[in-house]
Amino acid sequence: MTRLAVFDCDGTLVDGQADVCWAMERAFTRAGLPAPDHQAVRRIVGLSLPAAVRSLAPELGDEQSRVVTEFYRSSFRARREEGLLDEPLYDGIADLLRSLHADGWQLAVATGKSDRGLAACLATHGIADLFVSLQTADRHPSKPHPAMLEAALFEAGANREQAVMIGDTSFDMLMARSIGVAAIGVGWGYHGTQELLASGAASVVGTAAALAAALEDTMP
């Protein structure tokens, strides 16, 4: 039986909040706009970049939103090229991924990152070869639209009953729920436990070891 575990990236696999907050603050400042509160920025991690900017500043017109979006991209890219980007894996995640892979799970990522950003992140941690499907905001509508998850199912050759979505935000849970895929929330990311449960999480775990157990319970 094909078992597919689809992971969000920021807030689930890696902790990139410091760089996201820095780049968003810099983007708004460069555009001559007030910088958003860091807590507000944390709330939108997981959305595609244009959707995140619209959520943070719905009063902006299309042109201003586009400018902020491009400033964010260029700032984040420059930080990566300068070697200043810090996106550490959460404790136990590398071992969990390798263990799942060895046990025959198919692994995928569905993220609001760009193709370039996700590829760089996974390569940095030496885990890119563990995944059979990488879905990003470059090729899909923003979460909670299910397009990324549907593409991961197709590329892995799995059906909905054989898949689990793992994420840290309500966007991930709602995406999974919309097409009948089981969802597990992680408590170390950007949305709280009660919000994850209300959005469709079957459970919310606090460690990588607990996530491994929850995956086995969900799909033995």
**Sheet of strand 4-7, all strands in order from the earlier edge strand to the far edge:** 133-135, 106-110, 4-7, 163-167, 182-186, 203-205
- pTM for the model: 0.92
End-to-end CA distance of the chain: 10
Burial (Cβ within 10 Å: 0-12, 13-18, ≥19) of residue 122: buried
Average pLDDT, the chain: 95
pLDDT tens profile 94-135: 999 999 999 999 999 999 999 999 999 999 999 999 999 999
The domain made up of 4-15+88-218 is a member of CATH 3.40.50.1000: yes
Here the tokens at position 195 are 């919000």
CATH 1.10.287.3510 for domain 17-81: no
Where in the chain are the domains?
Answer: 4-15+88-218, 17-81
**Active site residues per annotation:** 8, 10
pLDDT for 219 beyond 90: no
Q: Give the phi and the psi of residue 78 in degrees, each rounded to 5.
A: -65, -40
Task: With cut-offs at 50, 70 and 90, classify the pLDDT of residue 83.
Answer: confident
